[in-house]
Amino acid sequence: MSTMPGFSLKSLHFLTYNVNGLNTPERRKRLFRELRALRSSVAFLQETHFKTGASPILRDPAFLVGHFSDPYQNKSRGVAILFAKDIPVTVDAVLPDKEGRFLFVKCTIVDVVYTFASIYLPNTNQHRCLASILRRLDSFKSGTLVVAGDFNAPRDPRTDTSAGRSSIPHNVLRHIRRSLDSLQLVDVWRAFHAGERDYTFFSPVHSSYLRLDYVFVQQGMLLNVVDSAIQAQSWSDHCPLLITFSSPLSRPSERQWRLNLTLLQNPAICQDVTTCLRNYFSDNERAEVPFPTTWEAHKAVLRGLLISKATALKRESS
């Protein structure tokens, strides 16, 4: 496998962020400061609020490559994908949306082909917009697919809202899930945090916290995910979501995770595993997701738990 000078074996960090406008120098400065602090490799941005032909320069010494999809009519939308300068990326194809709702970038990092999609859905009829976007994505994509963005909808109001409910009709949420299932897309954060509650946005209108921002990968790629974490809110009204992906320099045999069997000799860890699996399948048994998808996702959940337990034990013994 070929490599590029200066590119070391490391993980890739995918960050999705609704930035709520980048039309002032101060907001752009804050964005790049945060991207650097979080060591972002690829940044998926929504609501840049740039208009086609009238956008300011969105570039930083640490992020020299960027692609944009700006609306023609107004500044209310806009999405972008930025690449860190230390990522050896070769862009093969770009598909922007004239309405500023999506941006697809097909590229190669080292020898691995990726398709990245940054999506910003409207706050009504999300299901129709998503279905249209994913149909276009299906004919565009190749290689490893990463879909990220603000979907303006909680996938499951029971766990993705602090109120436990949503004003969005059930049929809309059901069609969103079906569209995602059609491409075998798995919610990465939920796969690693089954049953947990955390949110990316506060709605003052509904006095409720919601999880609206997501990263999805196809179920076969879940084993490439190392970590998934919602970051603290800072200057935007949304929290960024950071996904850590295994390095494209790792060969499949090197990416293969092996269970440390001594963990299963610890009664407390065994109990945690039992509780985790019970909660996971209980939370997902009523979800309108094919069982193979649920089964594939549970492996990533279990792996994440065991890795965290092994790390904690190692820290205690050192």
Active-site annotation holds for 150:
yes
Determine whether the annotation assigns residue 125 to a binding site: no
Determine whether the annotation assigns residue 298 to a binding site: no
**Closest among 153, 101, 156 to 132, alpha carbons compared:** 101
Active-site annotation holds for 120:
yes
In 12-33, which positions are buried (b, 16+ CB within 10 angstroms) versus exposed (e)?
bbbbbbbbebbeeeeebebbbe
Marked catalytic residue, from 97, 150, 187, 213: 150
Determine whether the annotation assigns residue 260 to a binding site: no
Beta strand 208-210 with 213-218: parallel, antiparallel or unpaired? Answer: unpaired
How many angstroms separate the CA atoms of 256 and 260, rounded?
Answer: 13
Determine whether the annotation assigns residue 227 to a binding site: no
Q: Name the residue with tokens 């249209």.
A: 132
Chain-centroid distance, C-alpha 299: 18
Determine whether the annotation assigns residue 67 to a binding site: no
Q: Collapse the DSSP code of 103 into the 3-class scheme (helix H, G, I; strand E, B; otherwise coil) and give the result.
A: strand
Marked catalytic residue, from 17, 114, 120, 199: 120
Treating both helix axes as pointing N-terminal to C-terminal, what angle do 170-182 and 126-140 enclose, rounded to 10 degrees? 10
Marked catalytic residue, from 13, 49, 193, 238: 238
Segment (H or E) for 147: strand 144-150
Side-chain half-sphere exposure of 116, counting CA atoms within 13 A: 29
In 120-159, which positions are buried (b, 16+ CB within 10 angstroms) versus exposed (e)?
bbbeeebbebbeebbeebeebbeebbbbbbbbbbbbbbeb
Residues annotated as binding site for Mg(2+)? 18, 47, 150, 152, 237-238
Binding residues: 18, 47, 150, 152, 237-238
Catalytic residues: 120, 150, 238
